[in-house]
């Protein structure tokens, strides 16, 4: 942290993606099919009255950037009103499988990369605006984003980072001063909503779909070029594409373990929303488990099929990897190697899941043959789904259960957990007995493991966050921000920086979802409209 922070205007951009890969020769930004190119140069479309609503100090520190003053050129640049020296704005070309079906060309329909820069760790970072206007990939849509979805993306990107989960980041949130028309409920009553732009940051935004489109359109030369480029610059040390695919499988498996650990549901795991770097990407109708329910999804568009519900995410990631394998097949041409990599996904996930659950529960690592332990774990999820039980609060509070009381079957052992139940009369006497029996076995295993209580609690608390940005909290920040008040947004930004620590003064943000939020739009269920 030696050099003082600079203004965005002073950054020397070095646009490796643009420099290395073929551009679409046409500057036409009308919707169209693009071929034999990785991207199209696309300038952002200016907005009327940019206003900086939020800024991630932590990410800015990492980038060595100074927070811009309201009238700085940087705010104009982050709103797409000005292209700074060295920036070469482009929209990327990619395809994807949406809800299980090949959708053809998708591409950056409302994302525009401004340029790449080096952060303080010497890591290359791409700065990308989301909602900066139409591109050739916008299809029938407007290239814009509403404030509510932009606040949600801004908050969750930063929250995920501080939870220690690989993710794209968010630097800034700018209100555009323009309205955007959206039919939020898909009920034929579109409304004007305030528009906004998030500046997202990641080493690369390349997705599975970047490769899929090239194979689908029979462009093997460009496929090889893109694979070589991603391997060389983002997976240094790997030279065999089969090893590279195996590494993507492992990263994706670890990401799924992390999502499952914190109860995150992405909501739209289409292959165009899968990062080739194993990052969480494209925050849309995402959510966090409140009542434990394997079939839960916040995405109302997926309410019928529940393809992307909480419990299916690991399977879906695997399926998405099989699509990527298909796209890479012309290049790798070794079915066995691809299958071995996919098997590696399953193994990495299974091991990671088992270790993660041990940490969540404060238990020793089980052997696969330990049937009693496996039974204890599967029984836990049955119990958790019997009555509405808050996922985050339950696991966080489990560390406070008195092991000796649990061992002797004392009713008071349940006390710390009562806060996790949603209905006032919960758990029923019958369920309470089942919980006490479960806790007794849990306590026996803890004692058999011999770990000290201090060490076990530390391990549990480092795995089970106390603070997550629940949808209803984000919605309060959205409602306030829409009225010009960003205090809640700022408060959530502070809260999320140390999600595993007790933070006196923030306890009101660590509670269960209040009843009024159960069915309020944005607070539990969301549509894709954004």
Please tell me the distance from the alpha carbon of residue 98 to that of residue 305, in angstroms, as a whole number: 13
42 binds ligand AMP (CB under 6 A): no
User: Which parts of 202-295 fold into alpha helices (H)?
Assistant: 208-216, 220-234, 241-262
Please tell me the distance from the alpha carbon of residue 266 to that of residue 282, in angstroms, as a whole number: 9
Residue 278 touches which of Mg ion, ligand AMP, none (Cβ within 5-8 Å per kind) = none
284 binds ligand AMP (CB under 6 A): yes
268 binds ligand AMP (CB under 6 A): yes
Please tell me the distance from the alpha carbon of residue 479 to that of residue 185, in angstroms, as a whole number: 17
Q: Which of 24, 108, 258, 272 is catalytic?
A: 272
Instruction: Name the pairing type of β-strands 169-182 and 264-265.
Output: unpaired
Which residue sits closest to Mg ion, CB atoms considered? 282
110 binds ligand AMP (CB under 6 A): yes
Q: Active-site residue 272, yes or no?
A: yes
Please tell me the distance from the alpha carbon of residue 225 to that of residue 231, in angstroms, as a whole number: 10
* 254 DSSP 8-state letter: H
Q: How far is the CB of 239 from Mg ion (least distance, A)?
A: 30
Candidate list 282, 290, 359, 373; residue touching ligand AMP; CB under 6 A: 282
Please tell me the distance from the alpha carbon of residue 213 to that of residue 93, in angstroms, as a whole number: 8
Backbone angles phi, psi at 423, to 5 degrees: -85, 145
Those residues with Cβ within 8 angstroms of residue 201's Cβ, 6 or more apart along the chain or in another chain: 59, 63, 125, 126, 127, 128, 168, 169, 170, 171
The nearer residue to Mg ion, 273 or 300, going by C-beta atoms, is 273
267 binds ligand AMP (CB under 6 A): no
Candidate list 273, 471, 486, 529; residue touching Mg ion; CB under 5 A: 273
266 binds ligand AMP (CB under 6 A): no
The burial of 469, by beta-carbon neighbours within 10 Å (0-12 exposed, 13-18 middle, 19 or more buried), is given as buried
212 binds Mg ion (CB under 5 A): no
Q: How far is the CB of 189 from Mg ion (least distance, A)?
A: 25
Residue 258 touches which of Mg ion, ligand AMP, none (Cβ within 5-8 Å per kind) = none
Backbone angles phi, psi at 408, to 5 degrees: -90, 10
Candidate list 193, 282, 359, 373; residue touching Mg ion; CB under 5 A: 282
What x-and-dash track marks residues 303-342 binding Mg ion by CB under 5 A?
A: ----------------------------------------
Q: How many residues sit in the footprint of Mg ion (CB under 5 A)?
A: 2
107 binds ligand AMP (CB under 6 A): yes
- Tokens encoding 134: 């139409």
What x-and-dash track marks residues 208-247 binding ligand AMP by CB under 6 A?
A: ----------------------------------------
The nearer residue to Mg ion, 241 or 267, going by C-beta atoms, is 267
CA 385, 386, 392, 395 torsion-angle sign: negative
137 binds ligand AMP (CB under 6 A): yes
Closest CA to 230 of 264, 186, 277: 277
Summarize as ranges the residues that interact with Mg ion (CB under 5 A).
273, 282
Task: Give the residue numbers annotated as catalytic, written as ranges.
Answer: 272
Summarize as ranges the residues that interact with ligand AMP (CB under 6 A).
106-110, 137-138, 141-144, 268, 270, 272-273, 282, 284
């Amino acid at each position: 942290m030696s050099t003082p922070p600079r203004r965005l205007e002073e950054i020397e951009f070095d646009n490796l993606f643009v420099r290395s890969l073929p551009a679409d020769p046409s500057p036409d930004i009308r919707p169209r099919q693009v071929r034999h190119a990785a991207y199209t140069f696309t300038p952002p479309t200016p907005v009327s009255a940019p206003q900086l609503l939020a800024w991630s100090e932590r990410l800015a520190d990492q980038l060595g950037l100074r927070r811009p003053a309201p009238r700085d050129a940087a705010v104009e640049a982050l709103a797409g009103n000005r292209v700074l020296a060295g920036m070469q704005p482009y929209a990327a070309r990619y395809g994807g499988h949406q809800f299980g079906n090949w959708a053809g060309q998708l591409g950056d329909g409302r994302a525009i990369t401004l340029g790449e820069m080096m952060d303080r760790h010497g890591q290359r970072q791409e700065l990308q605006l989301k909602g900066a206007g139409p591109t050739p990939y916008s299809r029938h849509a407007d290239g814009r984003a509403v404030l509510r979805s932009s606040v949600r993306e801004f908050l969750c990107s930063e929250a995920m980072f501080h939870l220690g989960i690989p993710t794209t980041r968010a630097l800034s949130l700018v209100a555009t001063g323009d309205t955007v028309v959206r039919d939020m409920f898909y009920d034929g009553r579109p409304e004007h909503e305030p528009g906004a732009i998030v500046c997202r940051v990641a080493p690369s935004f390349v997705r599975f779909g970047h490769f899929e489109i090239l194979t689908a359109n029979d462009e093997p030369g460009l496929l090889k070029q893109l694979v070589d480029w991603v391997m060389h610059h983002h997976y240094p040390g790997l030279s065999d594409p089969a090893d590279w695919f195996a590494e993507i499988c492992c990263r994706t498996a670890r990401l799924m373990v992390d999502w499952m650990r914190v109860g995150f549901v992405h909501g739209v795991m289409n292959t165009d929303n899968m990062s080739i770097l194993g990052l969480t990407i494209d925050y849309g109708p995402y959510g966090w488990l409140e009542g434990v329910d394997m079939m839960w999804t916040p995405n109302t568009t997926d309410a019928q099929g529940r393809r992307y519900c909480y419990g299916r995410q690991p399977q879906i990631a695997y399926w998405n990897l099989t699509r990527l394998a298909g796209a890479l097949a012309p290049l790798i041409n070794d079915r066995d190697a691809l299958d071995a990599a996919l098997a590696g996904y399953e193994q990495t996930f299974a091991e990671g899941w088992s270790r993660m659950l041990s940490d969540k529960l404060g238990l020793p690592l089980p052997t696969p043959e330990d049937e009693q332990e496996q039974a204890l774990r599967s029984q836990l999820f049955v119990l958790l789904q019997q009555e509405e039980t808050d996922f985050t609060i339950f696991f966080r509070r489990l560390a406070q259960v008195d092991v000796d009381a649990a061992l002797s079957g004392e009713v008071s052992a349940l006390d710390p957990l009562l806060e996790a139940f949603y209905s006032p009369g919960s758990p029923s006497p019958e369920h309470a007995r089942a919980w006490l029996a479960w806790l007794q076995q849990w306590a026996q295993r803890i004692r058999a493991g011999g770990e000290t209580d201090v060490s076990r609690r530390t391990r549990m608390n480092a795995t089970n966050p106390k603070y997550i940005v629940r949808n209803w909290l984000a919605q309060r920040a959205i409602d306030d921000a829409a009225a010009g008040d960003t205090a809640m947004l700022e408060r959530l930004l502070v809260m999320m920086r140390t999600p595993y620590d007790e933070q006196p003064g923030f306890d009101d943000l660590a509670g269960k979802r209040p009843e009024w939020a159960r069915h309020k739009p944005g607070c539990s269920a969301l549509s894709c409209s954004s």
